[in-house]
Amino acid sequence: MKRLSILILIFSMCVFVFAQDIEKEAIKKLVLTAYVDGLQNKGDLDATRAGFFPGFELLMFQNGMVNKLPIYNWITYAEMKKAKETNPLPEEELTSCDFEFIDITGTAAVTKIHLSKGGKKIYTDYLSLYKFEDGWKIVSKIYYKLPE
């Protein structure tokens, strides 16, 4: 009986870890597609719209104040920039992303990522996400811009 209980416990832990890994991979894919490629590298803005909650706000700490940038303003800005550029970004101008961690509790998650351009780190971002019926959505962001 004791062995059965231990086996059930081990099996349950494996299922939990496997489920967490699947959720972390879903979050990574969302961040890379909707945020890094969609907004930073001027990619598929429909993927950006799908990956961000409509009420998303970027919180920016500037001059001792916190300002908000809603996602629809950010997408409009990205569309205007993309319309002005006739060629895709060269490789050295593409933004890359390294995940430091993803922490998930139920339907809430946070991730800390580092954005780089040309091999140089430029931002550290903290993204908050919720899991809705149709999947994970980015709901807010704060960041730190690294000194140049």
Q: What is the pLDDT of residues 22-77, one digit of tens each?
A: 999 999 999 999 999 998 887 789 999 999 999 999 999 999 999 999 999 988 88
- Residues 96 and 115: beta-carbon distance below 8 Å: yes
Q: Is residue 14 over pLDDT 70?
A: no
Give the range of the structural domain holding residue 83, as residue numbers without chain letter: 2-145
Rama region for 99: left / alpha / beta (φ>0; ψ in -120 to 50; rest): beta
- Residues 93 and 117: beta-carbon distance below 8 Å: yes
Please give the tally of structural domains in the chain.
1
- CATH number reported for the structural domain that contains residue 100 in this entry: 3.10.450.50
